[in-house]
Chain A
Amino acid sequence: MAFQLKPETVEKIDRMIARYPQKRSALMMVLHEIQEEKRVISNEAIEWVAARLELQPINVLEVVTFFPSYRQKPIGKVWVRVCRTLSCALMGGYKTGEILEKELGCKMGHTSDDGSVTLEYAECLAACGTGPVALVDEDLFENLTPDKLGPVIAEIKKRAAGGTPTPTKN
């Protein structure tokens, strides 16, 4: 089947492309839009983007493979990134990661078998003063010391089961 996006996503993408002085500059933003809808950047998506931006597919592929945020394997329904860099590690970030692995039944760096959760270590998330921190989709959870993981685990499980995300302040 041909690659298809929601009409509103296509509209958003076209508006975005029009704002840049050169079409190619919109590449990263277009990829973000596609990944948000599809949870993955497939080969078909790469070809679609290339055509849209008047590029060769290789121009798109080399950007997709360069940046850690773009994924060629589908991301789970909930994307959990736990910071592992020094400030968070000093406050117990690795322990937090281990507990999340156990509680969510998902190995670090993998997506759970049912596709509900992707759990990963991430490099510095720029919230070092309140470490350990984790990014759950768009929401930052702070001060995640091993004894304070209850709420974040509950929230991840809720989202994985299809519940509406609880609004957070960040």
Chain B
Amino acid sequence: MPVTETRLLLKHADDPAYGIDLASYEKVGGYEMLKKAVGLKPEDIRTEIKNSGLRGRGGAGFPCGVKWDLVDRKSGKPIYLIVNCDESEPGTFKDRQLVHKDPHQLIEGVMISAFANNVALAFIYIREEMPKGAKILNQAIEEARAKGYVGANICGSSYSCDIIVHRGAGAYICGEETGLIESMEGKRAYPRIKPPFFPAVLGLYQCPTIVNNVETLCNVPHILRMGAAEYCKIGRNNNTGTRIWCVSGQVQRPGYYEVAGITFGQLLNDICGGPLPGRKFKAIVPGGGSSKILRYDEKFKGKKPDGTPHEFTFDEIPLDFDGIASAGSMSGSGAVIVMDDSVDIMEALANLVAFYAHESCGQCTPCREGSLWAKKMTHRMCGGEARERDLTTLYDMAGNIGGRTVCPMGFSTTWPVQSYIDKFRPEIEAKTRENRLGMSRDARLIEK
């Protein structure tokens, strides 16, 4: 049987007859769930979301229902909801599709979630590099407001909530929720230390705050429509629902694919058409630039449900949170970057390290200094000027960044550096020993 997509969130997105206007969305049943929601008890909606097993699609895969449960509802302070649309992880472009092609689906998800959590003001934090997305959202919000879906007395109920579209300004660190909150307060986006600053308790303006990813919230209307039990039937246990995978790099058909219950091999070989002609897959970044790299020819060790050990290939990795975790990496934001045998792995590493060096916010010394040092070392290792101890120093130093900083971004340097070296040590060693120049066959990957 051919492997196909399971389109739930992107069901209408690429239909040429489907527009981004309110009428198009209403025609396919849009805002019906919001109408239903305002007649329910907020806690019942929260229970439904919890029962659906919906996990956060932004990176960590934290259960959405649990996140909502952690909100401090007794403080008497207002509760805020922030939608994280600061999509910046290298390889990720799913939120772009959801915002540009079906903005009302997101707005309905936001409003239902806001109602379920007694939120009086919601924000959509969209990155600066998506100016059209911000315009689309603002226009959609105004349309929805005119129909009573946003603003005062939603769908004729006594509930009111407004949405503000807030634009970022080109900083990756704003994808980290406490950094995002700081920047929303009009400050530098330095992440806050946790504890005590868990957003659920002390978030925006020191009030309880929920920060959810765009894709996560787009699932909410569908869960309400289908019911948690039915929603759980999509995907595997503990990995419910569909996921949008963003495939980029050296593969026949790159793009965004919404799937459920398939393997990594089915995504790359069946849906994406396999490697480019005459090439072989070499390495795959499974969950955004900061995730640990996987070798295509690798054998992974795991345990079957009954506890017996077994080996599996890359192609057999179940394409979901737990599947990729069992192969030793993470599914992160669902961004798959494919590299074939034309790629010089050291150069690919240098490219990503340069990204994280540029994006380190500079608050914590290990990350600020370490990422730049790693950039210097990886660049000279590609430039034919490697020093004898560079490889050892790079590996050890990278291990001293992650976990020693305020936010988890330190790992964005640690994980690529250590995993690229672990998985491709002979290639990298030979390259630095012989001091060969970076030489990916197709394209140069770092600045001269």
Question: What residues of B have a CB within 8 angstroms of the CB of A128 in the complex?
Answer: 90-93, 246, 248-249, 254, 335, 337
* A20: interface (CB < 8 Å): yes
Known: A24-B186, A94-B445. A126 touches B96 (CB 8 A): yes
Question: What residues of A have a CB within 8 angstroms of the CB of B70 in the complex?
Answer: none
Candidates A25, A85, A123, A127; contact of B185 at CB < 8 Å: A25
A140 to chain B, nearest CB (A): 8
Known: A59-B186, A86-B289. A126 touches B447 (CB 8 A): no
A-B contact pairs, 14 of them (CB 8 A): A25-B166, A28-B167, A31-B169, A53-B186, A68-B171, A69-B128, A81-B129, A86-B249, A90-B248, A90-B343, A90-B445, A91-B250, A95-B443, A128-B91
| Interface pairs A-B: 3 shortest CB-CB | A67-B169, A27-B186, A128-B248
Smallest CB-CB separation from A121: which chain B residue?
B447
Question: What residues of A have a CB within 8 angstroms of the CB of B162 in the complex?
Answer: 19
* B269: interface (CB < 8 Å): no
* A76: interface (CB < 8 Å): no
For A42-84 the 0/1 string (1 means CB < 8 A from B) is 0000000000010100010011001111100000000001001
Size class of the B contact interface (CB-based, 8 Å): 35 or more
- CA–CA, A128 and B337, complex, Å: 9
A77 to chain B, nearest CB (A): 17
For B203-217 the 0/1 string (1 means CB < 8 A from A) is 001000000000000
How many residues of A are in contact with the other chain, CB < 8 A?
Answer: 50
With A124-B92, A129-B247, A139-B132 known, 14 other A-B pairs at CB within 8 A are A28-B169, A63-B187, A81-B129, A85-B90, A86-B289, A87-B91, A87-B248, A90-B250, A91-B443, A94-B444, A123-B172, A126-B88, A127-B96, A128-B337
Known: A24-B186, A123-B358. A19 touches B164 (CB 8 A): yes
- Evaluate contact between B170 and A67: CB separation under 8 angstroms: yes
For B234-250 the 0/1 string (1 means CB < 8 A from A) is 00000000000011111
- Evaluate contact between A129 and B246: CB separation under 8 angstroms: yes
- CA–CA, A26 and B183, complex, Å: 10
